[in-house]
Amino acid sequence: MGFVIKIGGSLADTAGDVLSAVETAGIPALIVPGGGAFADSVRAESLDDDTAHWKAVSAMNRYGVFLSSFGFARTETLSVPEAGISILLPERLMKCEDPLPHSWDVTSDSIALWVADTVHEPLILVKSRAGDLTDTGYVDSYFLAFQKRCSVQVSAVNGRNREELSVFFNRLRTSSCRR
């Protein structure tokens, strides 16, 4: 069993710790990058929804390249590796499939949910704070309604707490070994 793990762009300063926790736990993972500062710069522009959507997806690619700089392979394929970690660069795939609405209601959170649903694996959202999926602003406004149509187990973890990350990912390894 593998996992789709979305690493929020606001975690750029601790991304190495997050990836290390996943690697140490030894769970197969397809990493979906957030948009981070790259997407924030798109938000600052006055663009129509379609243009903003594609620039934000491109921002996810840039953050993905950054995440791969920690020594992990990049992929443009929707597939969780048998072992180890792969960083998804989603732009080409999103342009081919175009599965979601083009607006700021849809961010990398919903894109990660779509990826997890497509590959039939659980989704882990690594966020910059602890919270509940139903907390206002914790996920994008499209996510919760979309989740109801998907058959994906979703959990979240605070990516700024090293101890919590370690315990969380090691627990996943233990529980996935029992299946």
Across 40-50, average pLDDT: 90
d(CA 120, CA 153): 9
Q: Three-class SS of residue 102? A: coil
**What is the per-residue pLDDT across 62-98, written as a single tens digit (0 to 9) for each?**
999 999 999 999 999 999 999 999 999 999 999 999 9
Q: In order of start, what are the domains of the chain with their CATH numbers?
A: 3-177 (3.40.1160.10)
Judged on CB neighbours under 10 Å (0-12, 13-18, 19+), 11 is buried
| Pairing label, strands 3-7, 123-127 | parallel
134 pLDDT higher than 80: yes
Determine the pLDDT at residue 83. 96
**What is the per-residue pLDDT across 112-123, written as a single tens digit (0 to 9) for each?**
999 999 999 999
Determine the pLDDT at residue 176. 62
Determine the pLDDT at residue 56. 95
d(CA 4, CA 125): 9
139 pLDDT higher than 70: yes
Determine the pLDDT at residue 178. 46
Question: Using an 8 Å Cβ cutoff, are 172 and 29 in contact?
Answer: no
